[in-house]
A and B are shown apart, each in its own frame.
Chain A
Amino acid sequence: MTDNELIWRIAGGSGDGIDSTSQNFAKALMRSGLHVFTHRHYPSRIRGGHTFVEVRAKDEPVQSRGDGYNFLLALGDSFARNPQDEAYYGKEELKPLYENFDDLREGGVLVYDEGLLDDEDVAEIGLEEAAEENGWHLVPMDLRGIAKEHGREIMRNTAGIGATAAILDIGTEEFETLIEENMSGDMLEANLNVLQDAYEAASELDVDHDIEVPESSHDEEQVILSGSNAISYGALDEGCRFISGYPMTPWTDVFTIMSQHLPEFGGISEQVEDEIAAAALALGASHMGVKSMSGSSGGGFALMSEPLGLAEMTETPIVLVEAMRAGPSTGMPTKPEQADLEHVLYTSQGDSARVVFAPANIRECYTQTRAAFRIAYEYQIPAIVVYDQKIQGELRNLPASHFDEEPNADPGSVLTEAEIEEAAHHASGKFKRFQHDPEDGSNVSPRSVPGQKDGRYLATGNEHNEEGHISEDPENRIAQMERRLQKLDDIRADLDENADHQTYYGPEDADYGILVWGSQQDTVFEAVDRLNENGHSVKALGVSDMAPYPVEQVSEWLDSVDEALVVEMNATAQFRGLTQKEIGKYGDKLSSLLKYNGNPFEPAEIVDGFETSINGEDLAASNMKYLPAAGD
């Protein structure tokens, strides 16, 4: 852990308000001038279990969750299963306490709710011994008692915030403001009282610790939001006014946000019977000229394979979001993984073409969703935004001005009626929707939408001729296939010119490289800084365009290093495989650091992984896998 930072972890059972409390805590710290980043860990269970959220705060922009943490607020699990289950599950109410021992750093502070947790039970789990060994500062407080005194037991989290504020000496002003913004009446008063009481009670304890909360102030207005927020806002700013979906973790987040806001933007949201229907609806709306999106997570996205192919064949633009979680099958619903890359790249039959973007952080979630819409609608091709459960739920601050962008409602290559009148028509009167050789040579054959005069055509998933009629004519087949596939080259050129999504990091002349994609990028960047401080010579490249792949940019970068480690959250090195396949070489230069235990990389793990792998040693850590270079 670096100096001068706070990593505050709040732990409890699902349903104990861990998430909302952490959000408020992070927002309060941001308002006080700090940069913040949250990391969320939760089980696939609605009430109870062990859930925690970390809030990392620094005086400079935070790239990752960091390593471990230095302050634990253990609320205990108030939704623990009934005592009869204890033999099987253990004492569940204690989990938020003892399950967090591993990563609490030496000298850390540990506040726990002795109002909920029985002293004898706490003694049994060896808390005192562990605290002595690690130099932890134990702060047992009756948070439940304080909460109950002024309101309800559930306000234990507010009491915990009060205690935190006192122990860290950061005052309660920002928290009070937030409570006032979110509550009213009796609830407001009760929470303010709980906050104040806990603050005073903790102030009297005089905990002697070394944690220094950094001080900082932003030079421009900040906002704190999640990747799902950013994807949704990117879609809205790009004129997306139709969404259809079926709930599935973690995709549900984008679906929910969009459903809540679309009516106020004059749009339509549809929750439908399954994911096949969801993607089909998005296609139907887009066919009519409306910018639309759908999405899912792995299993649901599998169902979308068929409509995805239909979108490709009929050249109907849509944007699909794929929020990855650990698989195969239903896998681990609330845990992140980057193992659906090949799924989004190759699903659907035939020589199919789609665009795939993998934003690396919240900033990119916004910009690349916008790019996905622009490309999809200009080039009449499905575009997929693939991200994972990590970015979906983590919050990060960034300047509000990042979103100060003009909307783009242009539905791309849709003709007006006046233009249709001038356009090519078949002798039957049908509009040549799928011209072999579009006049501007762009391979994009402009379209009409139902209701427009004299724009009639047939959209079909079968191979078809220029006006859309089913055709198995060999020459027509070649012409249509070539035109559809060549759009990918045009898109590559467009992206290189207008939206360079690849992120270069570290000294240009470094000997070694780390290649990374998606949500692990910024953690790698933090590791690169540390490696260079440790005397290594390392740079990194974060790739966000998965298809069409930025062959030239990555080749050039790989040429400039002796070796490169590919870091990704899956067991089969999918991105490394893609890179080798696309570039056709460097198989002897690329090794892999893989993690697939349900938790994202921490920067220290990447540092360790890099050092051991580059030195040719085996990885000591059992939670990661090193895969050496294997040739082309």
Chain B
Amino acid sequence: MSAFSAIGEDREIERDEFTPGIEPQATWCPGCGDFGVLKALKQAMPEVGRNPDEIALFTGIGCSGKLNSYFNSYGFHTIHGRSLPVARAAKLANPDVEVIAAGGDGDGYGIGGNHLIHTARENHDMTYIVFNNEIFGLTKGQTSPTSPKGHKSKTQPHGSAKSPIRPLSQSLNAGATYIARTAAVNPNQAKEIIAEAIEHDGFAHIDFLTQCPTWNKDAKHYVPYTDIQQSDDYDFDVSNRQEAAEMMFETENKLYEGEVLTGRYYVEDERPSYGEEKRQIGEMPDDPLAERYFDEDAEWERTYDNLLEHHK
């Protein structure tokens, strides 16, 4: 029997399998957009077709980090902004496991911004869902990197002088190969995008707009939204980097002007994932590294046999 018999199991996967048998205490506020992410994620799972044991979910800190408690899979609730580097190594250590990372806008675009740039740049094969509610939630409503300019909070009482970050453009520039924005108020689109992102072989970044009814009541502009793929007004080729960049730029301006555009912005299927690149240049083994520790026939070399000669 393989050390990882859960991997590659051939059967129907049910949405309910991802609900923990006994619900942990709910700590998201009533009406929180994070419920929408959870729902979309669970709904996407039957389409993805992977069982809970072969999924590893890495979260950061904040309300988004509680996702692990409500989603029944292997979980790692890491530290603020650091879910991506932990997740990256997990994928390299066992590429057969499906790796999903999630975080908030403060977590992913603020404290973890550097990690996002490098994870996108390297095009690791994983999905990153950012719960973007334009506010710090769990620390009680401070201005976040996606809060609009002029946003007033207890830490920026005069209104923020900073322009919000442009997460989609940033990921595109860094090298992500699947970039989309969706919203909790649009469950069907959200489900489709999550399923696509997970199946995508490369770094998929989903900016997931979520409402924060407790700290960010102003963010009503998430409704109504327009799906750019379904609108005749926005005709562009999602595989064309130039066109995608222009669309993203336009969208990221409009995000704070009432109309919210969502959908897929960039999908590139040609570029190999980072693990594949590493394998090609001989920097990564063909078989999952994690398997070897369970393989009784694995041969473990001694440095004495290999390296000492050089020092004699």
Contacts and interface: CB of A to CB of B under 8 A. Distances in A.
Q: Do A and B bind each other?
A: yes
B312 A222 contact: yes
B79 interface: yes
A237 to B, nearest CB: 5
B93 A288 contact: yes
Given A236-B303, A290-B290, A459-B77, A283 B89 contact: yes
Interface string B56-73: 101001000010110011
A462 to B, nearest CB: 7
B78 A280 contact: yes
A469 B24 contact: yes
A457 interface: yes
B53 A456 contact: yes
Contact of B301 (A265, A284, A427): A265
A400 B308 contact: yes
A101 to B, nearest CB: 34
A457 B312 CA distance: 48
A268 B284 contact: yes
A414 interface: yes
Contacts of A292: 89, 93
A456 B118 contact: no
Contacts of A445: none
B97 interface: yes
Contacts of B218: none
A314 B20 CA distance: 20
A458 B58 CA distance: 10
B111 to A, nearest CB: 10
Interface string A228-269: 010001001101011010000000000000000101111111
Given A236-B303, A266-B292, A403-B303, A452 B89 contact: no
B26 interface: no
Contacts of A283: 78, 86, 89
A383 B38 CA distance: 36
A307 interface: yes
A451 B306 contact: no
Nearest to B91: A284
A274 B119 CA distance: 12
A269 B7 CA distance: 25
A453 B76 CA distance: 17
Contact of A403 (B74, B97, B304): B304
A456 B96 CA distance: 16
Interface residues of A, number: 80
Contacts of B54: 450-451
Contact of A269 (B20, B115, B283): B283
B155 interface: no
B253 interface: no
A263 B278 CA distance: 10
Contact of B6 (A284, A411, A452, A462): A452
Nearest to B56: A450
A459 B85 contact: no
A298 interface: no
A289 B5 contact: no
B118 A273 contact: yes
Nearest to A261: B307
Contacts of B66: 470
A273 B116 CA distance: 10
Contacts of B306: 261, 264-265
Interface in B1-37: 1, 3-7, 20-22, 24
Contact of B21 (A224, A265, A409, A428): A428
B292 A452 contact: no
Nearest to B94: A288
A103 interface: no
A462 B27 CA distance: 14
B158 interface: no
Contact of A451 (B94, B278, B282): B94
B76 to A, nearest CB: 5
Contact of B311 (A224, A265, A285): A224
B308 A457 contact: no
A225 interface: yes
A267 B289 contact: yes
A285 B93 contact: yes
Given A268-B289, A284-B87, A290-B289, A223 B312 contact: yes
B261 interface: no
B88 interface: yes
A416 B79 contact: no
B121 to A, nearest CB: 9
A281 interface: yes
Nearest to A404: B304
B92 interface: yes
Contacts of B21: 427-430
A76 interface: no
A153 interface: no
B114 interface: yes
A284 B53 CA distance: 17
A506 interface: no
Contacts of A237: 302-304
A451 B290 contact: yes
Contacts of B289: 241-242, 266-268, 285, 290
A180 interface: no
Interface string A361-372: 000000000000
Given A281-B86, A427-B22, 13 more contacts: A236-B301, A236-B303, A239-B300, A244-B89, A268-B278, A268-B289, A280-B82, A283-B86, A285-B93, A403-B302, A417-B4, A451-B97, A459-B76
27 contacts: A223-B308, A233-B303, A236-B307, A241-B292, A267-B285, A277-B82, A277-B115, A280-B79, A287-B76, A288-B56, A288-B90, A290-B293, A307-B79, A400-B308, A400-B311, A405-B302, A406-B302, A409-B300, A416-B3, A426-B22, A451-B96, A454-B53, A456-B74, A457-B75, A458-B75, A458-B77, A470-B66
Interface of A: 221-225, 229, 233, 236-237, 239, 241-242, 244, 261, 263-270, 272-274, 276-278, 280-285, 287-292, 306-307, 309-310, 314, 400, 403-407, 409-411, 414, 416-418, 426-430, 449-462, 468-470
Interface of B: 1, 3-7, 20-22, 24, 52-56, 58, 61, 66, 68-69, 72-79, 82, 85-90, 92-94, 96-97, 114-115, 117-118, 278, 282-285, 289-290, 292-294, 298, 300-304, 306-308, 311-312
The 9 closest A-B pairs by CB, nearest first: A284-B89, A428-B21, A451-B4, A460-B77, A280-B85, A281-B89, A277-B85, A450-B74, A223-B311
